[in-house]
Structure 1
Amino acid sequence: MTWIRVASTGDIKEGSGKELNINGQRIALFLSKNRYYAIEALCRHQDGSLAPGKVEGEVVECPLHFWHYNIRTGELLDYMEGVQLNTYPVEIRNNDIYINL
């Protein structure tokens, strides 16, 4: 695994997300309640990006068809059991955000 600098802390506003493309992987980075989360960016339903979704606490709502995912665990919270997106550890170093891939 490798730590990669992906953004600065000022790049993401509270309660929102940003999609990143890191080595061909689409990852959504979220800031919620002063904590950063990194998760696979694509909803399992129809591959819509979760990054512009509505964030409340540890839950993001896919903007296309309103599926809900826990941004800490990657778990889909409705519709089907056992669906889970990959999550990635996040570290803040000075004002830089790093993700461990």
Structure 2
Amino acid sequence: MDAYEELKKGLKESLQQQRELEDEFDRLQQEIYDKETEYLSNKNNNVTVAGSRTTYGGNIIKGFDGFHKTHHGDAQNHFHNDDRLFSLSSAIFVKQQHQDALQDHIE
């Protein structure tokens, strides 16, 4: 009976550790998704000079075709999910996103 209790305790600890790792994994995937969204939407490519905000068009994923052109104002570079290289590389994350979207649609 002693070996059984030890195995049972070890299993409980392993399951708890697995849940913690899965939570951390989910958090990291969400962080990657959020950072990728920020990068693709060019929020980090804005420069404010003398009160005028200038956006330099382009990034390493979509290219820099608009780099030589400056756009004044709040124009944003729109992107599609097909542009995502990192967050969509995780099949688990994509499945979770689809489940979340379905759940939101049901509610």
TM-score by length of 1: 0.22
Name the structure where helix makes up a greater proportion of residues.
Answer: 2
Name the structure where strand makes up a greater proportion of residues.
Answer: 1
TM-score by length of 2: 0.22
Give the number of the structure whose alpha-carbon radius of gyration is greater.
2
